[in-house]
Structure 1
Amino acid sequence: MASKENGVCNKTTEVYSRIVGYFRPVTNWNKGKQQEFVDRKTYEVKAA
């Protein structure tokens, strides 16, 4: 779920996300938090 397959070598990569000031592997999160991570929407803010 929180891992992605690398298109170059077809190996699974580990995804990290920032939690309360430090980075943790998403695979170590509980199932509910993992689903919240999948459901997140990212935005790109353009400079004015």
Structure 2
Amino acid sequence: MSILAALRRKPYTVVGHSLALGMVAVRWRDDPGRTHWLTPDHLAQQIGQHR
């Protein structure tokens, strides 16, 4: 799989970062109206569950 194909398959979009808290703001493709703040570890877990 190419890198571009992998990027297109992401079920989320990163919309912000908080360096002070070490968190990432994401919006899931199936719920674009809500922003979720997650740690990078929690995001990795959610990606596995969200597919």
TM-score (norm 2): 0.30
Larger Rg: 1
Larger helix proportion of the pair: 2
